[in-house]
Amino acid sequence: MSEKVILTCSECLSRNYSTQKNKQTHSKRMEIMKYCKKCGKHTLHKETK
């Protein structure tokens, strides 16, 4: 039971990545350090609805 989620940069708020997560094992929102093309550095990306 996977769900498609969009990851947004916490600094510039651009929506850079889309991924899937398993709702049964990860009930909270995802937070991952990813590279942001707009910022030009690694930033924290959070799941949006």
Helix (H) or strand (E) holding 11: none
Distance CA 1, CA 5 (A): 13
Tens digits of per-residue pLDDT, 12-33? 999 999 999 998 888 899 999 9
The overall average pLDDT reported for the chain is 92
pLDDT at residue 46 greater than cutoff 80: yes
What pLDDT is attached to residue 26?
Answer: 86
CB under 8 Å to 4, separation ≥6 — which residues?
18, 19, 20
Residue identified by tokens 């991924």 is: 19
What pLDDT is attached to residue 40?
Answer: 94
What pLDDT is attached to residue 4?
Answer: 93
CA distances in angstroms from 5 to 10, 40, 41, 43, listed in the order given: 15, 22, 22, 18
Q: Is the overall model pTM greater than 0.95, yes or no?
A: no
Domain 2-48: give its CATH architecture: Single Sheet (2.20)
